[in-house]
Structure 1
Amino acid sequence: MCGIVGLHLRNPELHPRLGELLGQMLGEMQDRGADSAGIAIYGDPTWSPAGQGCVSLLETGVGAAELDAATAAVGAALGSEVAGRLVDDTLVLSAEVDSEILLATAITVYPDALVAGFGADLTVLKGVGAPRDLVQAWGLSNASGWQGVGHTRMATESAVTPSGAHPFAVGPEQCLVHNGSFSNHATIRRELRAVGVEFDSENDTEVGARFVAHQLAQGKDVETALKEVCATFDGFYTLLVSNHDSFAVVRDAIACKPAVIAETDDWVAMASEYRALAHLPGVADARIWEPEPEVVYAWTR
């Protein structure tokens, strides 16, 4: 079943409340998927300092006692100062270098780590367990920023592990969350592997994320990439895709997976059900609608 939430803040006065608002949205979707969850936060000054490359890693084996040594090891390999933080089980690294350089260096130190996400302005957290519990463990209510995406998962296509949790953030500043299933993902995975694309899981959603990232890397914009998804993928899906300056939603041709969008002068929000939006400030005056099949809805910062 799964639950999707997303919040794009237009009013800078709301930026300090991003984590609080997104956490409430995610909690409302817990009964749509209580086995794991994940979030992507754009613009938190502590997790992803402005002007720095950022990387979020899982499965590093680093705990609080090892944090300083782990950070120093990455800094030594990079030849530059690195800041490291543990957010529950996620090692969040930042440095004054391009995020892809920081990522490549971090992987030499932790070759078996799962890359949860990378990019300037972006932190991605994933975990196994009830979404409301994870929101507390992450301290999400203290996070700020200009955009956030979240997902609660009911596993159908792969194991309940951090690698199977959404968002899938496989390109710089990019992430994708998905409610539904792709019926031809195995074929598309083989085609992408044939052109050199690597995968971390057997999750069908990762195929969608890798496909979109591949389209963007070829110079296409998000709207065009999502139109290519509609032309290429079979199945039932609602997708929310975000990157460094945009926020986009699309549904399949039948549109059987629920979705609702709300928009005000202060924000744009999307969720699988309206109850996840009901607490947002000014929602009583919002324009609210259900996205049409195969229509790409996109907003730019």
Structure 2
Amino acid sequence: MCGIVGLFLKNERLQPELGGHLSRMLATMSARGPDSAGIAVYGSGADDLIKLTLRAADPAADGDLAGKLAAAIEAGVDLIRRSNHVVLTIPKHRRAPALTWLAQHAPDIDVVSAGSRMEIYKEVGLPERVANRFSISAMRGTHGIGHTRMATESAVTTEGAHPFSTGDDQCLVHNGSLSNHNAVRRNLRREGLVFETENDSEVAAGYLTWRMREGDSLKEALTSSLDALDGFFTFVVGTRDGFAVLRDPVACKPAVLAESDDYVAFGSEFRALAVLPGIDKARVFEPEPATVYAWERR
């Protein structure tokens, strides 16, 4: 029993309010999972740059990270610090040497995500506290997804918190449980994917990454997951240009969508959507089982 939210803005005037809306939506889901929380925000970016979101257990552990990394990769490095997370923006073509240097010289710093537009922030604690810790309400962007977790099958750790990201600008949040994730994980490792946890949700994210790497669209990858992933689930997926929703064929987990001229919003329960402006004018509906719903920027 976890809580999921997602918000895709159609109206550009609402972009400065994205973080605030996501934070309020997720806070309403606290009763569904008080153990840990996380939010992915898709903001501005450039095709020739990549953002690396990093996490250090000790907020002071990174020291002069930007300066040291810039010298090592011989390129400019922009650093933004938010609590124990930092976002490094570097030239995309220097990504490989940057990751190699981080692994060798900063092994206590975890890479949470990578992408031209995506930043992920997650930590142990109630959603409201996690959002406040990283000042999510001040963030602007086009879309984002969030998750609050009840750790029923694994320890309460930051590593186990959602969203999970296994590909550039791609992440997934999941409510439910997969029964065959260990077998799928073994197969995906043979395909070169790397997993940081034993969480079944990371396997779902990895499966989509692999299918899209093989040439599937997001919609095609999600459709194929209905056969490949056994269990009960609701997935909300974020990509560089949009987000998508999929429920298992039985639709075991609760899910509500709302669409208006200004936005598309998802929540595990309607109360997550009730905090949005103009919700009384939106079309509110329950997504059908085994059906992919997707929206992208034009």
Any idea what SS the aligned residue of 2:141 has? coil
Any idea what SS the aligned residue of 2:244 has? strand
- 2:84 is equivalent to residue 89 of structure 1: yes
Cα deviation 1:166-216 (Å, max 9, x = unaligned): 000110000100000001111111111222221100111011011111111
Equivalent residue, structure 2, for 1:273: 269
- 2:55 is equivalent to residue 58 of structure 1: yes
- 2:157 is equivalent to residue 174 of structure 1: no
- 2:30 is equivalent to residue 35 of structure 1: no
CA distance in 2, matches of 1:194, 1:158: 25
Equivalent residue, structure 2, for 1:15: 15
CA distance in 2, matches of 1:162, 1:84: 22
Any idea what SS the aligned residue of 1:162 has? coil
Output the TM-score relative to the length of structure 2: 0.94
Output the TM-score relative to the length of structure 1: 0.93
- Structure 1, unmatched stretches of 5+, are none
Any idea what SS the aligned residue of 2:249 has? coil
- Answer whether contact 1:100 1:118 (CA < 8 A) is retained: no
Q: 1:248 aligns with which of 238, 244, 248?
A: 244
Any idea what SS the aligned residue of 1:34 has? coil
| Residues 150, 12 of structure 1: alpha-carbon distance in 2 compared, 3 angstrom cutoff | same
| Residues 235, 218 of structure 1: alpha-carbon distance in 2 compared, 3 angstrom cutoff | same
| Residues 112, 198 of structure 1: alpha-carbon distance in 2 compared, 3 angstrom cutoff | farther
**How many positions carry a matched residue from both structures?**
296
- 2:67 is equivalent to residue 72 of structure 1: yes
Any idea what SS the aligned residue of 2:257 has? strand
Q: Percent identity?
A: 45
Alpha-carbon RMSD across the aligned residues, in angstroms, is 1.7
Any idea what SS the aligned residue of 1:275 has? helix
CA distance in 1, matches of 2:214, 2:110: 25
Letter in 2 for 1:75: A
Alignment of 1:205-216 (within 5 A): 205-216=201-212
Equivalent residue, structure 2, for 1:199: 195
Q: Which shows bigger deviation, 95-104 or 151-160?
A: 95-104
Equivalent residue, structure 1, for 2:107: 111
Equivalent residue, structure 2, for 1:137: 133
| Residues 18, 49 of structure 1: alpha-carbon distance in 2 compared, 3 angstrom cutoff | farther
CA distance in 2, matches of 1:262, 1:110: 43
- Answer whether contact 1:20 1:143 (CA < 8 A) is retained: yes
Equivalent residue, structure 2, for 1:229: 225
Letter in 2 for 1:85: I
- Answer whether contact 1:67 1:85 (CA < 8 A) is retained: no
CA distance in 2, matches of 1:185, 1:283: 37
Letter in 2 for 1:23: S
CA distance in 1, matches of 2:261, 2:166: 31
Letter in 1 for 2:86: L
Letter in 2 for 1:72: G
Any idea what SS the aligned residue of 1:213 has? helix
Q: CA deviation at 1:62?
A: 4.3
Any idea what SS the aligned residue of 1:164 has? coil
Q: Which shows bigger deviation, 67-76 or 285-294?
A: 67-76
- Answer whether contact 1:99 1:120 (CA < 8 A) is retained: no
Equivalent residue, structure 1, for 2:289: 293
- 2:95 is equivalent to residue 127 of structure 1: no
CA distance in 2, matches of 1:213, 1:235: 19
Q: CA deviation at 1:58?
A: 1.6
CA distance in 1, matches of 2:115, 2:100: 12
Any idea what SS the aligned residue of 1:294 has? coil
Q: CA deviation at 1:99?
A: 7.9
Letter in 1 for 2:192: G
Equivalent residue, structure 2, for 1:257: 253
- Structure 2, unmatched stretches of 5+, are none
Q: CA deviation at 1:259?
A: 0.5
Q: CA deviation at 1:59?
A: 3.0
- Answer whether contact 1:6 1:149 (CA < 8 A) is retained: yes
